[in-house]
Amino acid sequence: MDKIKIAHGSGGQYTYQLINDVFVKHFDNPILKKKDDSAILPRKNLRPVFTTDTHVVKPLFFPGGDIGKLAVTGTLNDLAVMGAHPAWLSCGMIIEEGFAIDDLEKIVISMARTADEENVKIVTGDTKVIEKGSCDGIFINTTGMGHLADSINFGVNQLESGDKILINGNIGEHAAAIITARQNFDIRFKTQSDCACVYSLIEKLTDELENIKIMRDPTRGGLATTLNEFVMEQRVGIKIDEEKIPIREQIKGFCEPLGFDPLYLANEGKFITIVKDNEAQKALSIMKSHDLGQNATILGEVTSQNPGRVILKTTIGSTRVLDMMSGEMLPRIC
Amino acid sequence: MDKIKIAHGSGGQYTYQLINDVFVKHFDNPILKKKDDSAILPRKNLRPVFTTDTHVVKPLFFPGGDIGKLAVTGTLNDLAVMGAHPAWLSCGMIIEEGFAIDDLEKIVISMARTADEENVKIVTGDTKVIEKGSCDGIFINTTGMGHLADSINFGVNQLESGDKILINGNIGEHAAAIITARQNFDIRFKTQSDCACVYSLIEKLTDELENIKIMRDPTRGGLATTLNEFVMEQRVGIKIDEEKIPIREQIKGFCEPLGFDPLYLANEGKFITIVKDNEAQKALSIMKSHDLGQNATILGEVTSQNPGRVILKTTIGSTRVLDMMSGEMLPRIC
């Protein structure tokens, strides 16, 4: 048997075999092995944090990652930017009839390895198989549960003029990797998705800083859209400095002829942190001493001017308003 | 705007508008309204229970339900049969470009109403939009969280000879409704999916009985497959009595010419309960006094003979082995 059949989604013998031979084998843990309708988790005297993300990225395999790695990192990062410790994942797959079981296993191994590195367990799952032509290969939903310490309470309502805005590294890398993988562009520089779990760096920040106001990962919609989300409906604005935005020259050059604005490109291993002015340098040095933050910068600040707006000071000294993304530059980036 | 555009999945302005005008509007609750990357839930000193289910049912609307109602009941039932109190849901949607926003809103309203009836909140979500032709209308993942009292510990390892097996009503109703909706059969009787949340009945059983061994809902794979799951790899077997299986004559008559065996047809509002012999009559009377259990029966028992096997005593007095479903009778039933 080398391809997925409709019967693999029947709930009967084939499903049982697929679950054992692929999912339980690689996600291997005692809770999943029970194969109950739900996973019973140990109780924990902390606030549960709960998030979901469905992954439809195209192509399924790309430089720096694949849909499996992305399905784990994407959801764990949504927990991490809340300040939560990621603990548990579910995995819901929709698979097209005829999908190669080898590819499925590669994806599952990638999920298992990524979760393992973060000490997260995939404890419950569901598999649907649908007729050839009714979906595009494989779609993966992961839903995550984490735990939030009482000391952590991020919120945009805490933003105040003077707060500093940091990012942990170069933008546009994930989108550029997907575009080149999809289009088979002949380019002279290496693209690789930045796809990574950022919790280990966020944990250091939350351990050592007292005045983190908010964090968020600029995925779909990119840096510009995430900054807009922070100040939308708030009494403060944001001003960022184009010169301080970490981005490779090659990515800039790559975007220009294609008409992409890197400020709106998706990232998968980046997060924006806003901290009180007095902790900005400390935050920066924590980031820079971590693998995932070597190109970190302080790229702007919260302002009392222009409430609800994000203003970019360009390299030539002019200013312009950065809106949320309108329309869509690049579907199926994640 | 009456149709979903690719831009509705961009993460930018269109996504924001869709989330506000459709999801937040109908799923209305303070946690979802925060629109953080994750939902922060109140802590609870009980074991968390966690389950996921993706729904790809075709057609999207059918007698007795729709994909929205099914997406809520399916996942809540997976929590309920663990004996857990369902509390929270996530909602991850994959929507095809061009999908009618009116239909999306009908589906969302149906989800909201069903969750509301069970006092469950939909607190976090994700929406992906993919190109026309890359998926079939809409697929919905819901992941559920519930809480499990310390007094409840179901497990197939507790099964012992003499335990009685109950079901809360007629089998085959969901599958028959889907088949007739899909094929437009001209039939002379009414089909309607049994799609329902069974927690309210399960709560009565767990409150009043002390010796519930295991529960499970016979969805994909039907009654026969679920019974096999109970005894697979166990030192006991199961014997059921065909005469005691609650099923409408019309459903039997409908299945025969189509070659469907109702014992393998999916149900969406049924659950099988195995209780110690001495509580079987009490369990039956609790079921019968509840809306969701009026046709409940005791349909068989756990045996020390035939370990690992499910034996059917037919109406003509012979016996046959019921295997797990092999192959697939009816794709996209849920």
> Mind giving me the DSSP string for A89-103?
EEEEEEEETT-BHHH
Task: Pick the residue of B16, B32, B130, B143 with the most A CBs within 10 A to test the interface with A by mutation.
Answer: B143
Rounded Cα–Cα distance for residues A333 and A318 (Å): 31
Q: How many CB pairs under 8 A join A and B?
A: 255
Which one, of A271, A175, A283, A291, lies nearest residue A227 by Cα?
A271
**DSSP codes, B296-312:** -EEEEEEESSSTT-EEE
First to last CA, chain B: 30
Q: What is the pLDDT of residue A1?
A: 78
Task: Pick the residue of A13, A14, A81, A141 with the most B CBs within 10 A to test the interface with B by mutation.
Answer: A141
Token pair belonging to B218: 């016979």
Residue A11 has pLDDT above 80, yes or no: yes
Tell me the pLDDT band of A277, cut-offs 50, 70 and 90: very high
Rounded Cα–Cα distance for residues A205 and A83 (Å): 9
Q: What is the pLDDT of residue A189?
A: 87
Determine, for residues A43 and B46 on separate chains, whether the beta-carbon distance falls below 8 Å: yes
Determine, for residues A5 and B219 on separate chains, whether the beta-carbon distance falls below 8 Å: no
Tell me the pLDDT band of A295, cut-offs 50, 70 and 90: very high
In order of start, what are the domains of chain A with their CATH numbers? 6-148 (3.30.1330.10), 156-322 (3.90.650.10)
Model confidence pLDDT, tens digit, residues B126-137 = 999 999 999 999
- The nearest CA of chain B is from the CA of A220 a distance in Å of 5
Of B54, B90, B217, the CB nearest to A126: B54
Beta strand pairing status for B297-303 and B237-241? antiparallel
Tell me the pLDDT band of A187, cut-offs 50, 70 and 90: confident
Residue A67 has pLDDT above 90, yes or no: yes
Q: What is the pLDDT of residue B87?
A: 98
Q: What is the pLDDT of residue A326?
A: 85
Question: In what order do the strands lie in the sheet containing A272-275?
Answer: A212-216, A272-275, A164-167, A297-303, A237-241, A310-313, A319-322
Determine, for residues A12 and B264 on separate chains, whether the beta-carbon distance falls below 8 Å: yes
Average pLDDT over residues A16-23: 95
Residue A16 has pLDDT above 80, yes or no: yes
Residue B183 has pLDDT above 90, yes or no: no
Of A12, A92, A126, the CB nearest to B225: A12
Of A44, A45, A82, the CB nearest to B40: A82
Residue B166 has pLDDT above 80, yes or no: yes
Determine, for residues B42 and A47 on separate chains, whether the beta-carbon distance falls below 8 Å: yes
Rounded Cα–Cα distance for residues B330 and B221 (Å): 10
Give the chain A residue nearest B93 (alpha carbons). A54
Q: Is A233 on the interface with B (CB under 8 A)?
A: no
- Residues in chain A within 8 Å Cβ distance of B11: 219-221, 225, 266, 325
Of A40, A126, A221, the CB nearest to B52: A126
Model confidence pLDDT, tens digit, residues A225-273 = 999 999 998 999 999 999 999 999 999 999 999 899 999 999 999 999 9
Q: What is the pLDDT of residue B1?
A: 78
Q: Is A213 on the interface with B (CB under 8 A)?
A: no
Determine, for residues A328 and B91 on separate chains, whether the beta-carbon distance falls below 8 Å: no
Supply the DSSP symbol for A324. P
Whole-complex ipTM: 0.96
Of B128, B217, B328, the CB nearest to A7: B328
Rounded Cα–Cα distance for residues B203 and B208 (Å): 9
Q: Is B326 on the interface with A (CB under 8 A)?
A: yes
Q: What is the pLDDT of residue B188?
A: 82
Average pLDDT over residues B272-297: 98
